[in-house]
């Protein structure tokens, strides 16, 4: 990670959080009128995506902090909610959808936490079960290098009893979670992959053992855990390598403390193929055979996806027969052929995950409207 410049929107130049980040970062700061100035600078560089990872733009979120996960109506969606704390990431994964999601993508952090907390309070006052994550438009934990955002959110969720916060990361930056009175309302979560994929496709991320070590520390501090094998990538010998990851995971951590494990195979919009080829010339992930899914994204043929899911689920079940495993963006046929049931059979995917959160995070159903 190398932040070379800090841009500050003039609207937040005097904000206390801006000043605190500025003091912690110690790089040249430039005040700008608005985002256009930052975007123009980034797009004028030879690799705007890389440039967008090396500058930090502090601004005010003018829109909503709380959103529904974009998902897609063509596949089973889990009704996840997003707390939009910032965008993009300083790590660099070949398959990262954020490379094309923002135009141009820029590492941007919203400092108006007073508005974030006010909006969150309104949402939490609804007294419904919510599963809320900060890791959809960014990595949840990268911001802890310069801010106390994780501490702020963990404290806030600890004070209520019907919503959980999932902090999802590929880093080991968990120091801020130590010694917090989290009340089990925060789930510490990691995306996992094989050491080969981490080495070749996930530049700047923590290695597999380091991620599991960080998870073990969080478990010791009493946090419930979750893991996401997403994207699963098919290559010669991948099954054995995924089995090793799973064995490693269960040899270090308690299955009883895992709220859920998700699985999802590689998928990407067609426009990402030339981008990956250009930015990651050694990557082989785009050279498999793909079909275009109902959401317009390229994905492996269904029989290949089913075959890999089955093997991985069997391996997980051998270690943890009762753990909640779900598929990200798949249809009923794939669920039935891999997990042996469809989400509707258990009241829907959202209900299935809500109940796991109730059990592991000690949510109080009596407080739910």
In the complex, the residues that contact ligand SF4 under the rule CB under 6 A are 89, 91-93, 96, 98, 138-139, 170, 205
Residue placing its CB nearer to ligand SF4 in the complex, 98 or 246: 98
Question: How many Å apart are CA 246 and CA 326, to the nearest integer?
Answer: 15
SS3 129: coil
CB of 138 to ligand SF4, least distance (A): 6
SS3 343: helix
The full length of the chain comes to 369
CB of 282 to ligand SF4, least distance (A): 17
Residue placing its CB nearer to ligand SF4 in the complex, 11 or 134: 134
∠ CA 96-249-192, nearest 5°, is 0
CB of 51 to ligand SF4, least distance (A): 14
Question: How many Å apart are CA 19 and CA 317, to the nearest integer?
Answer: 49
Residue placing its CB nearer to ligand SF4 in the complex, 129 or 272: 272
Residue placing its CB nearer to ligand SF4 in the complex, 20 or 283: 283
∠ CA 54-55-57, nearest 5°, is 150
Calculate helix-pair angle for 208-220, 238-252, nearest 10 degrees. Answer: 30
CB of 158 to ligand SF4, least distance (A): 26
Question: How many Å apart are CA 139 and CA 143, to the nearest integer?
Answer: 8
Residue placing its CB nearer to ligand SF4 in the complex, 170 or 185: 170
CB of 273 to ligand SF4, least distance (A): 17
Element holding 133 (H helix, E strand)? strand 130-133
């Amino acid at each position: 990670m190398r932040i070379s410049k800090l841009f500050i929107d003039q609207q937040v130049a005097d904000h206390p959080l801006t000043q605190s980040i500025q003091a912690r970062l110690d790089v040249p700061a430039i005040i700008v009128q608005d985002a256009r100035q930052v975007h123009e600078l980034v797009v004028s560089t030879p690799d705007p995506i890389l440039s967008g990872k090396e500058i930090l733009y502090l601004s005010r979120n003018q829109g909503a902090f709380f959103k529904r996960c974009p998902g897609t109506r063509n596949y089973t969606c889990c009704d996840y909610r997003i707390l939009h704390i910032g965008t993009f990431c300083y790590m660099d994964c070949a398959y990262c959808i954020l490379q094309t999601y923002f135009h141009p993508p820029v590492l941007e952090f919203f400092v108006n936490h007073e508005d974030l907390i006010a909006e969150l309070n309104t949402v939490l006052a609804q007294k419904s079960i919510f599963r809320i994550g900060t890791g959809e438009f960014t990595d949840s934990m990268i911001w802890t290098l310069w801010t106390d955002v994780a501490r702020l959110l963990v404290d806030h969720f600890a004070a209520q009893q019907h919503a959980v916060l999932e902090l999802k990361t590929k880093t080991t930056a968990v120091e801020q979670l130590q010694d917090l009175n989290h009340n089990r309302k925060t789930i510490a979560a990691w995306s996992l992959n094989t050491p080969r994929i981490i080495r070749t496709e996930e530049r700047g991320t923590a290695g597999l053992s380091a991620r599991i070590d960080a998870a073990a520390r969080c478990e010791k501090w009493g946090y419930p855990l979750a893991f996401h094998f997403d994207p699963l990538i098919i290559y010669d010998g991948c099954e054995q390598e995924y089995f090793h990851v799973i064995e490693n995971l269960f040899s270090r951590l308690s299955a009883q403390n895992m709220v859920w494990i998700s699985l999802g195979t590689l998928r990407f919009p067609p426009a990402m193929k030339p981008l990956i080829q250009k930015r990651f010339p050694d990557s082989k992930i785009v050279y498999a055979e793909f079909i275009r899914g109902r959401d317009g994204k390229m994905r492996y043929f269904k029989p290949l996806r089913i075959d890999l899911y089955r093997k991985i689920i069997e391996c997980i079940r051998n270690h943890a027969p009762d753990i909640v495993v779900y598929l990200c963006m798949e249809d009923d046929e794939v669920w039935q052929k891999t997990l042996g049931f469809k989400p509707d059979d258990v009241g829907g995917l959202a209900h299935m995950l809500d109940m796991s959160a109730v059990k592991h995070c000690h949510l109080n159903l009596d407080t739910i409207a």
